[in-house]
A = this chain, B = another copy of it.
Amino acid sequence: MSDRPSLARSREELVALLAPARAQGSRVGYVPTMGALHEGHASLVREARAQVGESGRVVVSIFVNPLQFAPGEDLDRYPRTLEADLDLCAAEGVDVVFAPSPEEVYPGGVAAGETSETTTVDPGPLATQLEGRVRPTHFRGVLTVVAKFFGLVRPDVAVFGQKDYQQLVLVRAMATDLCMGVDVIGAETVREPDGLALSSRNRYLDSEQRFEAASLNLVLRAAQESAQWGQDVALESARAELRRTKGIDLDYLEIRAADLSPLPAEVPEGTEARILIAARLGSTRLIDNLPITLGASRAPEAQEGVR
């Protein structure tokens, strides 16, 4: 176990802790989190370390951002486990943990889904699709706090999980569009042995829900395995798998381009795309996604035999 990382609670402490690295020209790698850290976050930290090397600094922020929660979502019950988080960061060799209060991040004031500050980052039309259909203000909250943290940490590289794929796409677009000079890396999703993507929200599940939750990944893998036959077949395979499950309330199941733009019905053989799912188990909402390589789509009438 390594030494505990330095803990910054204020902006000033963060800047002071990073000043030597800046003066030496060391690279800074950054992993933004909401805490409740697990092996998925550990893999993001290892990717950040790989990006900046032993001479670089790895910064983890732990902040449950009120602005990305809607009123009535799980802001209050979201798990807060700072001591355990610091242990994980120590074990992974994190240099600096930034764990500010809401007032420190939003001196103008913040509550679930709203801030009294005036400037926010508008993520554009993708933010009201997929996750944004049920969480219409979510990504504005995410991009605004990530912009703030990029400004405070000034990282060379930031690592996000592919598990929150839409977030990854939108953060990458923001970093590019607003010329933030941050290289945004998407790290592969870490999974339980049965395929369930690691998530801090998995701890909300009871044992029956936890058993059924593995189906999300099975549904996506069914689509992945039949994607050579085109989008329609892939989606039908996924739906067939979904019909075998119980207690899963589907929000969406969609195949999109890798940048999450809508795909035309006909795509070239070998198109790299993404399949995304969101579903509720009781009151817990889970998401997952996988890359899929599409074969040529055929018109639905040609697929009757397959159906």
Residues of chain A whose beta carbon lies under 8 Å from any beta carbon of chain B: 11, 23, 25, 108, 117-126, 140, 143-144, 147-149, 151-152, 154, 170, 173-174, 176-181
Contacts and interface: CB of A to CB of B under 8 A. Distances in A.
Contact of A120 (B124, B149, B170, B176): B124
A144 B181 contact: no
B124 A118 contact: yes
A118 B123 contact: yes
Nearest to A120: B122
Contacts of A126: 118
Contacts of A178: 119, 121, 144, 147-148, 151
Contacts of A120: 121-122, 124, 177
Contact of A179 (B123, B140, B148): B148
Nearest to A117: B177
Q: Which of A11, A120, A170 counts the most B-chain CB atoms under 10 A from its CB?
A: A120
A69 B118 CA distance: 22
A108 B179 contact: no
A25 B173 CA distance: 30
Contacts of A118: 123-126, 170, 173, 177
A285 B119 CA distance: 27
Given A117-B124, A118-B124, A121-B178, 20 more contacts: A23-B25, A108-B177, A117-B177, A118-B126, A118-B170, A118-B177, A119-B121, A119-B123, A119-B143, A119-B174, A119-B177, A120-B121, A120-B122, A120-B177, A121-B121, A122-B140, A144-B178, A147-B179, A151-B179, A154-B181
A165 to B, nearest CB: 15
Contacts of A149: 179
A151 B124 CA distance: 20
A152 B125 CA distance: 25
A45 B122 CA distance: 32
Nearest to A147: B178
Interface centre among A25, A117, A121, A126 (most CB of B within 10 A): A121
Nearest to A107: B176
Contacts of A176: 119
A124 B117 CA distance: 8
Contacts of A181: 151-152, 154
A144 B176 CA distance: 12
A152 B179 CA distance: 6
A122 B144 CA distance: 10
A99 to B, nearest CB: 16
Contacts of A124: 117-120
